[in-house]
Structure 1
Amino acid sequence: MSAEPLPGFEVPLHRALTQPILLGGAPRTVAIANGTLAAAVGLGLQLWIPGLVLWIVGHTLAVWGARLDPQFMPVFARHLKQRSLLDV
C-alpha cells in the first residue's frame, strides 16, 4: 500500500454534506416536534410553566442524545420497528 492517494479516487467534500442538520444542538425534527408540543401545552392549554418545563427538558434530552450520536433518532426509530429475535 502506498501512502499517496490515487488520482481520480479522491474528491473534495464540503463538511455540510456529512453533518446532520441541528437546531440549537438537537436534531431538526426533534426540535420542531418538541417546540410544537411545548407551544401547544403553553399556549393552547394556557399552562405556561409546564409548557416551558416540557420544552427545556425535551430540548436538553435531545441535545444530550445528539452529542452522544447525531443519528440517534433514526437509530431509535429502527430499534422500535425491529422485533427482538434473541429475547430471553
Structure 2
Amino acid sequence: MSGVDAFAPGFEVPLHRSLTEPILLGGSPRTVAIANGTTAAAVGLGLQLWLLGVVLWIVGHALAVWGAKLDPQFMQVFTLHIKHKSLLDV
C-alpha cells in the first residue's frame, strides 16, 4: 500500500464536480452577469435609452465571458487587487 490508500483506509469522500466549478450564467460569472444586466436594464428602462442599454449589455457580457475564459475567478482576483495597496507606490 502506498500513497493515499495507506493514509486512512475506509475514509473516502466523493468530491462532486459541481463543488469545484464556478457558477456561470451564459459563460460569465453569476455576480457579473446580474450586475451587468441590472445596469443595462436601468439605462434602457430608466433613462429610456434602449439602444445604449442593449449595447452596454452586449459589450459588458462579452467582456465578462472573455475574462471568465481566461480565469473563471477573475472577479475575485480583481477585487483583491483593488483592495490591496501597491507595494512600490509611495
CA deviation map 1:52-75 (0-9, x unaligned): 000000000000000100100010
Gaps of 5+ in 1: none
Shift of the alpha carbon at 1:36?
Answer: 0.3
Question: 2 CA distance for matches of 1:8 and 1:46?
Answer: 63
SS of 2:54's partner is helix
Aligned to 2:24: 22
Shift of the alpha carbon at 1:9?
Answer: 5.9
Q: How well do the aligned residues superpose, as a CA RMSD in angstroms?
A: 1.9
CA deviation map 1:13-57 (0-9, x unaligned): 110001111110100000000000000001111101100000000
- 2:85 is the alignment partner of 1:83: yes
TM-score computed with the length of structure 2 as normaliser:
0.87
Question: 1 CA distance for matches of 2:10 and 2:50?
Answer: 58
Gaps of 5+ in 2: none
**Corresponding residue to 1:45 among 47, 50, 68:** 47
User: % of aligned pairs identical?
Assistant: 79
Aligned to 1:32: 34
Structure 1 residue ranges, 4+ long, deviating more than 2 angstroms after superposition: 7-11
